[in-house]
Structure 1
Amino acid sequence: MKKFFLSIFAVSALVTSCASEDDIYNDDSLKAYEASGEYFFANAQKELVDQLTTPSVNLNVFRYFSQYWAATTYRAESRYDLTTRNIPDNHWDNLYAEALGNFKKAKENILAESKPALMSETEWNKKQQNRVAIIEILMVYTYQVLVDSFGDVPYSQSLDIVNTPLPKYDDDAAIYPQLITRLNAAIAQLDTSYGSITPSQDLVYAGDVSKWKLFANSLKVKIAINMADVNNSLAKSSIEQAYAAGVIESNTNNALLTYNTFAPNYNLIHEELVQSNRNDFVPASVFVDKLNSLSDPRRPIYFTPLNGTTNTFVGGNYGYQNLLPYNDSYSHIGDKIKEPNLPGVLIDAAEIHFILAEAAERGYSVGSAATHYESAVMASLTFWGVSNTDAIAYYNQAAVSYGTATGTWKEKIGNQAWIAMYNRGFESWTFFRRLDFPGIVAPASAYPVADGKIPVRLTYPSTEPNINGSNYQSASSAIGGDKLTTKVFWDIN
């Protein structure tokens, strides 16, 4: 039987297939008869990170939801018109078909592989356990993104197009505890004494099982903290258990996918802003002004200084056009952000420390809120290359330090998480919905569909009412209406 070897960045369309009554037609000589599951795993990783990283307004508008960027010409998305180019459809499809579909195919192919002749049965079984567990962990991650994006989504009947081509939507509040259960099972399977994914096919941790354990526990923290206001007992026990087992607390353990410096596998920000020579974005003034007020040392990294200056940063008006003179009137997206090999991030130390600070404030046994908050701020500064001297000076400002910054713990954590999550729009949006900080508001120019508010969910894909109408109607009714203003189950404040 012929073999077909895939690039680790091969298109994920290989998870789909054609059908015909003609046997010769179905016997496609070019299809991936014996493609290793690890190739599909690498494809799935990249598809997932691409979707969370890309600045394409056809795919990902979360930088707009967090008001990091403002538009220059095409301002529909910053005013929350999300259906003109089917943005929810693309987000849904990329996560279900491209990410989860590839993860499912990876698991199936890995389980179908035969033991190498020179490998013991024990070693093979342990390696298989590790590989399947790692896939399972990233599937859980992807399902969380889907729930946090839409609310009720297909879960128990998803990914089985043969038996359930029209899957029901599961209750988002019921999915979350199942994700915790799946994570616990996957963590229990991981054995650091044995191998896993081939290093070249694991684009995040190169097959390092010990780091995948940290990732899985960190993911459990991420999922659990969202449940704190609706299922405090499960949130508390899950976070305390994960923290005790070990989570990502150092940038050396960040879950990063490092892109190449060359086409077609460079960071999609570089592709959209540099290779495509697009001038669609400038930093939003609401964000720039916040960093200016703190003399934040990340400013020359996040943005370019105003033309002809070294330390002047000016943002554009969010929700409006920011046109001529484009080059000289505004700062622009920072050069580092546009580097072709800038890593895409799944989880980082800053994010986890901010969550642990919140958990500590909620009374969970995870250490000191002030310590985690400081560690979060410092981790972000260090990640972006700020010197230790400048980082310490920044944190010691009265407006930044946990003991002296104004506001409640939610405001302190929310404001600094907003700054740190720049370039991670989806996670920033999650912090905002859970903590209700920073105090950003919808622009006066927002479309009526947003009801004068920043969206708190994406509407379902436009195809669902026609293709999966009965299940769509049930889900829409269950969540209180398929609207941008309908909150996911954990967003109760």
Structure 2
Amino acid sequence: MKKIFYTSILVSLLTVGCISDDSTYNYDKDKSYDVPAENLFTNAQKALVDQMTTPSVNLNPFRFFSQFWAATQYPEESRYDLRTRNVSNNHWNALYRTVLGNLETAKQVIDTETQPATMSSAQWQTQQKNKKAVIEILQVYTFQILVDSFGDVPYSESLQATIVLPKYDNDSDIYPALITRLNAAIANLDTSEISFSTGDFIYQGDVSKWKTFANSLKVKLAINLADVNTSLAQTTIQDAVTAGVILNNGDNAKFAYPGAAPMYNPIYANLVASNRNDFVSSKTIVDEMNNLSDPRRAEYFELKNGNYIGGINGAANVYQNFSPIGNTLKADNFPSYLMEASEVNFYLAEAAARGYSVGGTADTYYQNAITASFLSWGLTAGDATTYLANPSVNYATAPGTYKEKIGKQAWIAFFNRGFEAWTSYRRLDFPNLVAPSNAVTAAEGQVPKRMTYPVNEQTVNNANWVSASAAIGGDKLPTKVFWDVN
């Protein structure tokens, strides 16, 4: 039942023979045979949060891009080397094949399901419609990650079994299409019924929370459009706020890892279960938080000789000399987030600063964002109030434009959300991140503005890769995605 979803599969078809005396030789051991939609949905959710959370240098370089973590004995990726370990391939495949593939197959399974005798036709149809809408929302979320990672990507021809070598769509065309899809999905959500009764580790089938998440995702998409399509950004954000977005931690899109293999947090898997010392905290964020006496340091980092000391980005840091990653993050059941209140409040602070009508001022949303971050890390509202009284933090007195104020504090709050921090940095240009002096030549002395396309695309889908590379201005790390105009 599982379709061939992306071109990386073609490599094995081209390089592996099909002749054997074993009668089971051609069985696809990865194929889904009569797998319930709930299982596929769970697999997609977990694959998505794992990919966005894992610190594996093979999969996720975004903590290096955002200068949250620094490497020890394996510093290549912290110097922006994405080629040696095929990082782009792995990121691309995880999202296209595993996340989007499972979600698309789940849709197909839902179409074949039989109505239980104990359920009315109206109730059954509503629940099935809700399931498909929730799947659509997660697909939109995933496509945004792909666009924000690479720029132009396959979209209109992706996930089609009849198209093995899909074309790349313009990234500037994909965003409005995603907003249209979100609006349709939201319209199909009926809060009088559940969606998935099992298999939903994020919202446990609660349709009202999925609706709030979807509107928050509209804000996330639209804020990236603010410098390139102001009218669409403003109307989209204002409509979303009117409908209701995530403003409190109780509505966070949180994947709660049970804490037992294989369902434990990938940070724990990579740092604790593997007994590895591959990472320390980065000097960039440690120094900034030290300057602000930020109490979240105790959650983010461990003390080293009574101080918080960050390692140098791009260097082969000696583990024993710097602050390791904090124990809070290394718990086996520490949750991962796809969206949270601090994030949305920062987006709305930015929207208010741009003059959008969002029901509050930039200062208010800024304070709410920082407070939500403190609460989510186990600190108190009083701790946040004290921190906000610091003239270097307070919105009225902190230095710089709204982009600098919001950009710096959002970056700090996104400590375990490396991708979102990188996106915020690219859009607002704050904080001022400086590439390590020994960054790979391909970085051209800059923090990457995108990931380069997978090598598999160059070899298998070459014509479309060539066309896309030319369209974006070159398949290079410093090439900007369409919304990054500053």
Query: What is the TM-score with the length of structure 1 in the denominator?
Result: 0.93
Secondary structure of the residue that 1:201 maps to in structure 2? Answer: coil
TM-superposed CA distance for 1:74, in Å, is 1.2
Partner of 1:313: 308
CA distance change for structure 1 residues 428 and 27 in 2, over 3 Å: closer, same or farther?
Answer: closer
Partner of 2:484: 491
Secondary structure of the residue that 1:119 maps to in structure 2? Answer: coil
Which of 195, 201, 204 matches 2:202?
Answer: 204
CA RMSD of aligned residues (A): 2.0
Q: Distance in 1 between matches of 2:454 and 2:63?
A: 20
Q: Distance in 1 between matches of 2:329 and 2:308?
A: 16
CA distance change for structure 1 residues 29 and 382 in 2, over 3 Å: closer, same or farther?
Answer: closer
Q: Which runs of 4+ in 1 moved over 4 A?
A: 16-22, 24-32
CA distance change for structure 1 residues 384 and 27 in 2, over 3 Å: closer, same or farther?
Answer: closer
CA distance change for structure 1 residues 482 and 28 in 2, over 3 Å: closer, same or farther?
Answer: closer
CA distance change for structure 1 residues 28 and 275 in 2, over 3 Å: closer, same or farther?
Answer: closer
CA distance change for structure 1 residues 30 and 405 in 2, over 3 Å: closer, same or farther?
Answer: closer
Partner of 1:5: none
Aligned residue identity for 2:323? S
Whether 2:317 is the aligned partner of 1:322: answer yes
Partner of 2:302: 304
Which of 346, 349, 360 matches 1:357?
Answer: 349
Partner of 2:226: 228
Q: List gaps (5 residues or longer) in structure 1.
A: 1-12
Partner of 2:77: 77
Partner of 1:190: 189
Aligned residue identity for 1:339? A
Q: Distance in 1 between matches of 2:31 and 2:59?
A: 28
Partner of 2:4: none
Within 5 Å, which residues of 2 pair with 1:62-461?
62-160=62-160, 162-198=161-197, 200-307=198-305, 309=306, 312-323=307-318, 326-327=319-320, 329-366=321-358, 367-461=360-454
Secondary structure of the residue that 2:337 maps to in structure 1? Answer: strand
TM-superposed CA distance for 1:28, in Å, is 8.2
Q: Distance in 2 between matches of 1:332 and 1:441?
A: 22
Partner of 1:7: none
Deviations 1:168-202 (A, max 9, x none): 0000000000000000000000010012111x300
Secondary structure of the residue that 2:455 maps to in structure 1? Answer: coil
TM-superposed CA distance for 1:32, in Å, is 4.7
Aligned residue identity for 2:310? G
Secondary structure of the residue that 2:382 maps to in structure 1? Answer: helix
Query: What is the TM-score with the length of structure 2 in the denominator?
Result: 0.94
Q: Distance in 2 between matches of 1:223 and 1:286?
A: 28
Asked if 2 retains the 8 angstrom alpha-carbon contact of 1:38 and 1:110, the reply is no
TM-superposed CA distance for 1:19, in Å, is 12
Deviations 1:363-418 (A, max 9, x none): 11002111000000000011001123222111111111111111100000000001
Within 5 Å, which residues of 2 pair with 1:458-473?
458-473=451-466
- Identical counterparts, % of pairs: 57
Aligned residue identity for 1:358? E
CA distance change for structure 1 residues 48 and 29 in 2, over 3 Å: closer, same or farther?
Answer: closer
TM-superposed CA distance for 1:33, in Å, is 3.6
Secondary structure of the residue that 1:345 maps to in structure 2? Answer: strand
Q: Distance in 1 between matches of 2:317 and 2:30?
A: 49
CA distance change for structure 1 residues 21 and 76 in 2, over 3 Å: closer, same or farther?
Answer: closer
